[in-house]
Amino acid sequence: MSLEALLADLVAFPTVSSEPVTALADYLANHCESAGMRVERYETSPGKLNLVCSAGPVGSDGVVLSGHMDVVPVAGQPWTSDPFQLTRRGDNLHGRGSCDMKAFLAAIVHALPRLPLARLKRELVLAFTHDEEVGCHGSRVLVDRLAAEGRPVPTACLIGEPTSMHIFRMHPGHSAARITCRGRAAHSSKPDLGRSAILLAGRVLAELERLQADWARRVQFADMLERPFVVLNVGTIQGGSAINIVPDHCALELGFRPLPGMDVDALVDEIRARVVDLGAPGDIDVTLVRSTPAMLTPEGTALEGILRGFAASPVTGAAAFATDGGNLEKLGVKTLVFGPGSIDVAHKADEYVPVAELHRAVDVVEAVVGARCLA
């Protein structure tokens, strides 16, 4: 099967994060088993599982190649072709997940028959995860399972997220918090008899804007990040029930991106300290909903040296987005993020991967496995 046909197969699985990934996982598992790999399935919930495929001596320090199977939704986006049918236009291949990140999965699978897996001196581990797009849930569960089992994994890891073939060794985390504002309901003809939770939320929003300005002045990693501070975004707000009722509830959901080494709970405490006194006692609650860790890999790893031969630049940088690498760090894994396609077109209508970068990714897989597992 050609590489482009393989990617077309992967794109055709509509693995939006709200849907099962079982069919795609079975497809990947069949290819890996056919190549002679050991396959382990780690089910999280019905329809959701992580796939770990391996070859070579268990516990030897080869390499992990990792990618997520899920994609973001397409609903409401102005696609000019079927998002789940790979479409070539010129030098680009369009489809949901074409760059984020099924191109790398296709490169791995396409390379397998060309690799002498029976002769590996050190272990090759493929980790295919679910629900990365909604908070790296799959990798968090997988890491906990592997740690509980005492399952050793190689300390070098390549995650093939779209980086336009630049090497990234760091990224912020991504945490989500919910701020709940409470008021007292009343008839809107007599608003003074109630307390508006929405107006209270307005004061919270203003304070969060001031907090973001304060965080922007606390600069770290300025040599690597375009925004070298904790970025904060208020993503949703919901409150009230009718225009003739003083609203007694309003909830805000916000995301913030801690930098490596920062204490997430301390940042939540700072948010809480800035907003809780804006209302009466008990009117405002701040809760951490989930947190994806930041990642920082030391400069100059052996894997970095291998990737430099394929990179668009020899200089290592940082991704602005979070990956499964933050969770994998808990296993002592040192991760680099490097792959085909650009994050600038990911998650958008008509997402695409350049054909040349897709084929280049196969060469990368072969070189990494050869250097880490055969030499």
CB 132 within 8 A of CB 142: no
CA distance 281 to 163: 47
Q: What residue type is assigned to position 91 of the chain?
A: D
Residue closest to 22 by CA, chosen among 90, 92, 70, 58: 70
Residue closest to 36 by CA, chosen among 124, 150, 128: 124
Over its length of 375 residues, how does the chain's per-residue pLDDT go in tens digits? 899 999 999 999 999 999 999 999 999 999 999 999 999 999 999 999 999 999 999 989 999 999 999 999 999 999 999 999 999 999 999 999 999 999 999 999 999 999 999 999 999 999 999 999 999 999 999 999 999 999 999 999 999 999 999 999 999 999 999 999 999 999 999 999 999 999 999 999 999 999 999 999 999 999 999 999 999 999 999 999 999 999 999 999 999 999 999 999 999 999 999 999 999 999 999 999 999 999 999 999 999 999 999 999 999 999 999 999 999 999 999 999 999 999 999 999 999 999 999 999 999 999 999 999 998
Neighbours of 337 (CB within 10 A): 28
Q: Buried b vs exposed e over 58-75: b needs ≥16 C-beta within 10 Å? A: eeeebbbbbbbbbbbebe
> pTM for this one?
0.92
Concatenating the DSSP letter of every residue in 167-183 gives -EEEE--EEEEEEEEE-
Q: What residue type is assigned to position 50 of the chain?
A: N
Q: Looking at residue 24, what DSSP letter applies?
A: H
- Domains annotated for the chain, with CATH where assigned, are 3-171+294-374 (3.40.630.10), 174-292 (3.30.70.360)
CB 201 within 8 A of CB 239: yes
Helix (H) or strand (E) holding 156: strand 156-159
CB 294 within 8 A of CB 328: no
CA distance 31 to 106: 11
CA distance 111 to 331: 26
